[in-house]
Amino acid sequence: MLQSGNDLATTLSVNFEKRFRTGFGLSFAAEVDLSQRVAGVFGSSGCGKSTLLRCLAGLETPDEGTIACGNEVWFERLAGQSAKVCVSPQARCISLVVSQGALFPHLTVLQNVELADRTVGATKNINWLDQFGAGHLAGQRPSELSSGEKQRVALARALARGPKLLLLDEPFSAIDAPARTDLRRLLRESLEMAGCNAILVSHDPLDLHVLAQSTYVMDSGRVIQSGLTSVVFERPTTIEAAKAVGFENIFLGKDLPGWDGAETITFRAGSVVPAREIEANIKDRVTIGGELRWKLDEGLLCRGGIAIRSAGEVLECLIAPVDWPADWVVGRSVRASIPRQAIRELTG
C-alpha cells in the first residue's frame, strides 16, 4: 500500500536510464537525501534536469532501472524486459510545479487550488493562497494574473494537495528578480510549515544556495558531482564540474609559474588581482605575467583577458574599477596574482 502524503520518506533511490531517438540519454544514479527538506539539481539547459523530474513524477517512463521513495518502489524494469513495477503519477502522491505554473485557464484561482484536494473546504485552500500572498486573487482567472502571481497560485495548489514530495522545475525562471526573492522566502517557509520535502531543479545558483542544502550537478544526462550546496559550487572536483558551476579559468598547473601542485587547476575570475611589485615573492600567491588582450567596463566591475606568456591560455580577471591599474591598457604587458587558497585542484 502506498503511504499517505504525511508519511514522508527521507531517501529517494534513483538508478535508471532514459534514451531518446535524438541520441540524448539520461543516466541518473544517486541516493537523494531528502532529510534536509530540499535537494537541488543544477545544470545548464538541455542537461536532463526536466526529464529527471518527469521520470520521478511518472510522466516519462525510463527504459530500464529503478526508482524508489523510501520503502516504496515506483518503477522497476530490467534491461530488455517489460516494467515489473510502474506506479501511476496519481498514486505517487507527488506535486510538480513547472516554470509557467500550468494553471487551468477556464477556472478561477480558487478553483485551480481546489483541484488539488476536493476533500477540504474553501477555507484551507484560501489559507494556502494567503500563505503565498495570493488570497486576494481567489476570484480571478489565470489570464488576469502576472507571471509572478501565477507562480504563487501554482505553488499554493501544489502544497494544498499534501504531497509526499514536491518537484520544482525552474519555478522562478519566468519571474523578475524582486518577486523571485520574495517567492524563495515564501517557499522555504511553506515547506517547513507543511513538513514537505522537495527536489528543486534550477540553472540559477542563487536558487540553490538559498533553498537547497545538498545539490546534484548534472551534465549531458548524468550526475558529475554531488554534496553540500556550498561545497559543490566552491570546490568542484573535475573539469566537467568546474565548467558546470561557472569556474572561468581552467589551466594545466604546470604552465603557471610558481605552481607546484596538481596538474589541472581552476579558479574564478574574481580571485585575480593586479600584482604589485612587493607581491612577487609572497609564497601564498601565484603571480603570472602576460599581455592584456581585451578589457570590458561592466559598471561596478571591469573584466579583462590576459594572454599568459608561458601557458598560451587566456586568463579572465574581474576587478573593481577603483582597483584597475591605470597602466592596464590593451596591448600592454601586465602582471596579476591569484591566492593559492582560491585555486582548486581538478581530476579528469
Query: In the predicted model, is pLDDT for residue 1 greater than 60?
Result: no
Mean pLDDT of 188-199: 92
Mean pLDDT of 88-112: 90
> Which of 5-19, 80-94, 121-135 is least confident?
5-19
pLDDT at position 5 is 45
d(CA 270, CA 338): 9
d(CA 328, CA 67): 56
Sign of dihedral through CA atoms 73, 228, 52, 155? positive
Mean pLDDT of 118-141: 83
Average pLDDT of every residue of the chain: 88
Mean pLDDT of 68-85: 88
Q: What percent of the chain has pLDDT over 70?
A: 94
Q: What percent of the chain has pLDDT over 90?
A: 64
Query: In the predicted model, is pLDDT for residue 338 greater than 80?
Result: yes
What grid cell was written down for 277? 611589485
Maximum distance among all Cα pairs of the chain, rounded to whole angstroms? 74
Q: Which residues contact 74 (CB under 8 A, 6 or more apart)?
A: 56, 58, 67, 68, 85, 86, 87, 92
* Cα angle 62-51-9, degrees, rounded to a multiple of 5: 75
3-state DSSP call for residue 312? coil
pLDDT at position 156 is 94
- Looking at CATH, the fold of the domain delimited by 11-237 is given as Rossmann fold (3.40.50)
d(CA 187, CA 40): 14
Looking at the chain, the domain(s) classified CATH 3.40.50.300 span: 11-237
Query: In the predicted model, is pLDDT for residue 4 greater than 50?
Result: no
Given the candidates 3.90.1200.10, 2.40.50.100, 2.60.40.10, 1.10.10.10, the CATH classification of the domain at 247-346 is 2.40.50.100
Higher pLDDT, 8 or 13: 13
Sign of dihedral through CA atoms 319, 324, 329, 334? negative
Q: Are 249 and 315 in contact (CB under 8 A)?
A: yes
> How does DSSP classify residue 145?
S
Q: Are 160 and 117 in contact (CB under 8 A)?
A: yes
Looking at the chain, the domain(s) classified CATH 2.40.50.100 span: 247-346
Pairing type for strands 38-42 and 197-202 reads parallel
Distances in whole angstroms, Cα of residue 216 to Cα of each of 181, 200, 223, 231, 326: 22, 10, 6, 11, 43
Mean pLDDT of 277-284: 62
What grid cell was written down for 37? 527538506
